Amino acid sequence: MVIHDTNVRTRKRRDELEQIRQLEAKIKAVEARKEKRKRRTESPVWKDFEKLKRQMARFAQICMDHQRGDISNSVLGFMTVLERQSREVRDTDIEDEDEESTTVAGLDVVDE
């Protein structure tokens, strides 16, 4: 019969360099989340959505006050979907100052 020593450590202790790398990776992840949150709150879509959300909430309440729960539920469901979609930050939501505007006024018409 063979007796195995069960007190042998199977885990490997991380050295300081590995710990530093893991902490740096965590710091980068936190900074990326912070930047994403900042970009979302600066987005023109998000700012206008906040105005729309207040107006839709007023409308839903008026519907409930006048016994139109069906319309109120539809408005609230639509508002939930819009909110979820507007939280997603897209690169097109925020225009950099260096980029040219893509509005009709910013387009140059070239006559040939």
Task: With a cut of 50, say whether residue 76 has pLDDT above it.
Answer: yes
> Which residues fall within 8 angstroms of residue 89, CB to CB, at 6 or more apart?
36, 39, 40, 43
Look at residues 89, 72, 71 and name the one whose alpha carbon lies nearest to residue 35. 89
Report, as an integer, the average pLDDT of 70-85.
91
Residue of 45 and 66 predicted with greater confidence: 66
Residue of 111 and 14 predicted with greater confidence: 14
Residue 92 has phi, psi (to 5 degrees) of -80, -15
Q: What is the pTM of this model?
A: 0.46
Q: How far apart are CA 45 and CA 87, in angstroms?
A: 9
Look at residues 31, 36, 75 and name the one whose alpha carbon lies nearest to residue 53. 75
